Amino acid sequence: MLTQQILNGLAIGMAYALIAVGFSLVFGILRLVNFSHGALFAFGANVAIAFIGFQFGVIPAILLSILVTALLGVVVDKLTLEPLRKKKSTPTAALITTIGVSYIIQNLLVVWRGSESRHFPTIFPSGRLEVGDASVSIGLMMVAGVSLLMMLALVALVRYTKIGLGMKAVQQNPKAASLMGVNVNFIITFTFFLAGATAAIAGNLISAYYQVVSPMMGFEAGLRAFSAVVLGGIGSLPGAVAGGLIIGLSETLAATFLGSAYRDAAAFVILILVLIVRPTGLFGKKDVIKV
């Protein structure tokens, strides 16, 4: 049972990590915690259901929902955050704005789709995979596999492409990057596009596995992903992955051996303990400000 629950926890943690990567991407560029990210997670899955209802087919509907959600991420930045950056407003103002945007998206989903949960068609084969004495759902393993591939693709993009180098430059010093010819506005727009796409992918994967979708599903997922980001070290992609795996593993083991009532508490207890010992998270670094 222990082996099986560890595998389950790691697989769920990979999905959390994929959501957490979107948080880290935006924070790395703007030093902003984008609390509307969880709403984009829910938006992507709900848009996919709408396209499925229009007889687009499951896979085309999911692909279209990823594109639409990525574009919504760009719209959120252009309409709400970019004006604040131009006016050089405080980080707190931008943070509160993202919280407001999150509630706006959630309520618009409720108005559009209704507050009740809906069935989401599965895209995974049925059956279970035997790993030693453990038996794990093939669907859950595919969720973990797709999440892993997406995160590897993101890491490769950031490290080995011209856009990735631009993202690193903007992260370190936006003014210097601009003087060196980097289009800072394009990098920020691309980052929000990428974050929206990862949120939609995670939303569709988790909805397809559990076969349920609701307008409010983004709140808890966003909270867990944010916890994973803080645990791993906010702004660090490897930290987001490690934090997601730890959160998923702790939730699964707590639910199995302590009861489902302790599922959420276990993850946050670990988060608090890690932050007491290492306030910057597992992979986080202290910001050095030169005067």
- What are the tokens at 141? 């393993």
Tell me whether residue 256 is in a domain.
no
Strand partners, 119: 212
Tell me whether residue 191 is in a domain.
yes
CB atoms within 10 A of CB 195: 29
Tell me whether residue 200 is in a domain.
yes
pLDDT of residue 290: 38
DSSP per-residue codes, 70-127:
HHHHHHHIIIIIHHHHHTT--HHHHHHHHHHHHHHHHHHHHHHH-SS-EE----S--S
pLDDT of residue 135: 74
pTM (2 d.p.): 0.88
Q: How far is 12 from 283, CA to CA, in rounded Å?
A: 21
Range of the domain at 124: 2-217
**In this structure, which amino acid lies at residue 210?**
Y
Tell me whether residue 66 is in a domain.
yes
pLDDT of residue 291: 34
Helices 2-30/237-257 angle, 10° precision: 150
Q: Would you say the C-alpha torsion 158, 241, 33, 290 has a positive or negative sign?
A: negative
Total of domains in the chain: 1
Tell me whether residue 244 is in a domain.
no
Tell me whether residue 249 is in a domain.
no
- What are the tokens at 103? 């509630």
Tell me whether residue 275 is in a domain.
no
Q: How far is 212 from 12, CA to CA, in rounded Å?
A: 16
Mean pLDDT of successive 10-residue stretches along the chain, which has 291 residues: 79 85 84 88 93 88 95 93 88 90 93 87 81 76 86 87 88 85 90 93 90 88 84 81 87 82 78 81 60 34
Tell me whether residue 90 is in a domain.
yes
Strand partners, 131: 134
CA-to-CA dists, residue 129 to 11, 80, 135, 252, angstroms: 13, 46, 6, 18
pLDDT of residue 76: 93
CB atoms within 10 A of CB 269: 13
